[in-house]
């Protein structure tokens, strides 16, 4: 069992830094500029802000944008049935 004895300093209360650079995604869809049909949101992106809900809002908004973009892509694409692959030696 652990006992809570206080909280950290203000500067310690940040999200993990690093991740996919914002310059490598389309902010209107959250889709990768390098790999089509690959979408990012939340802490996988190189975005970090001060405490107070900014990081949560970034994750929620990015997730919404990515999710609606994926749904639009799925509804407007002529998606084919997934192909099955035979492994060599099978």
Residue ranges of domains in the chain: 16-70
Give the contacts of 85 (CB within 8 A, at least 6 positions apart): none
Closest to 44 measured CA to CA, from 78, 72, 21: 21
Q: Contact 47/21 with Cβ under 8 angstroms?
A: no
> Containing H/E element for 90?
none
Q: Contact 43/16 with Cβ under 8 angstroms?
A: yes
Q: What pLDDT digit, counting tens, does each position of 20-66 carry? A: 999 999 999 999 999 999 999 988 999 877 666 788 888 999 999 99
Decide: pTM greater than 0.85.
no
CA distance 88 to 90: 6
Task: Specify the range with the lowest mean pLDDT, choosing from 1-5, 54-58, 78-82.
Answer: 78-82
CA distance 36 to 26: 11
């Amino acid at each position: 069992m652990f006992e809570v004895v206080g909280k950290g300093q203000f500067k310690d209360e940040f999200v993990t830094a690093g991740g996919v650079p914002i310059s490598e995604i389309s902010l209107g869809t959250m889709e990768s500029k390098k790999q089509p049909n690959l979408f990012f949101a939340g802490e996988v992106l190189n975005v970090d802000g001060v405490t107070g809900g900014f990081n949560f809002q970034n994750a929620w908004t990015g997730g919404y944008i990515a999710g609606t973009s994926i749904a639009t892509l799925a509804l407007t694409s002529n998606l084919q049935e997934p192909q099955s692959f035979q492994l060599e030696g099978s």
